[in-house]
Amino acid sequence: MVAPAPQGTASGRQEMDPMDWPAASYRARRLVRARHRLVPEPISLALIDAFAAQGAVTAAGLRDFAPAELVAPILGLVTTAVHGTGHLPARNGWYRRDETGAFVIDPGFAVAWTAARACDAPLPGAERT
């Protein structure tokens, strides 16, 4: 059987598959937990929680929640969990940079992250040594 051709938009660009933001936020939460020795979990959670709540934030605003040397590793952890290894995709990424350089979180990821954190319970295998 032949798969149907991708549907184009009025501008001729192909539509990207929608992201499964709840699954992506779950993967991000698990990776933040797993890498707590690389970046302390409370700092990671504070930064991502604030980013999700604010929607858009400057680099200085991110440093209100994490030391400057931890901002990139925290964003990288989430990027790896959501998109796999490599760079943040130009389209359909969990965040993007706007024309002013501010960080803008995808609203779907922000809602999914906030919902997951609202009912955050100990994750399986959460016992630390």
Find the mean pLDDT for residues 12-27.
75
3-state secondary structure string, 101-119?
Answer: CCEEECHHHHHHHHHHHHC
Please report the pLDDT score of residue 121 as a whole number.
Answer: 62
CATH number of the domain that residue 67 is part of: 1.10.10
CA dist., res. 79 & res. 25, Å (int):
10
Q: What's the domain count of the chain?
A: 1
Kindly state whether residue 57 falls inside one of the protein's structural domains: yes
Contact indicator for 94, 78 with CB cutoff of 8 Å = yes
Kindly state whether residue 113 falls inside one of the protein's structural domains: yes
Residues paired with residue 56 on neighbouring β-strands, in sequence order? 104
Please report the pLDDT score of residue 127 as a whole number.
Answer: 58
Residue-wise pLDDT tens digits, 35-64 = 999 999 999 999 999 999 999 999 999 999
Kindly state whether residue 50 falls inside one of the protein's structural domains: yes
Arithmetic mean of pLDDT over the chain: 85
**DSSP symbol at 129:** -
With cut-offs at 50, 70 and 90, classify the pLDDT of residue 105: very high
CA dist., res. 32 & res. 83, Å (int):
14
CA dist., res. 34 & res. 93, Å (int):
22
Kindly state whether residue 6 falls inside one of the protein's structural domains: no
With cut-offs at 50, 70 and 90, classify the pLDDT of residue 66: very high
Please report the pLDDT score of residue 87 as a whole number.
Answer: 86
For the question of whether the overall pTM of this predicted structure is more than 0.75, the answer is yes
Lowest mean pLDDT among 5-9, 58-62, 116-120: 5-9
Kindly state whether residue 68 falls inside one of the protein's structural domains: yes
Residue-wise pLDDT tens digits, 82-94 = 999 878 998 889 9
| Cα dihedral 124→89→45→123 (10° resolution) | -10
Kindly state whether residue 69 falls inside one of the protein's structural domains: yes
Domain boundaries, position 75: 41-118
Kindly state whether residue 91 falls inside one of the protein's structural domains: yes
Kindly state whether residue 23 falls inside one of the protein's structural domains: no
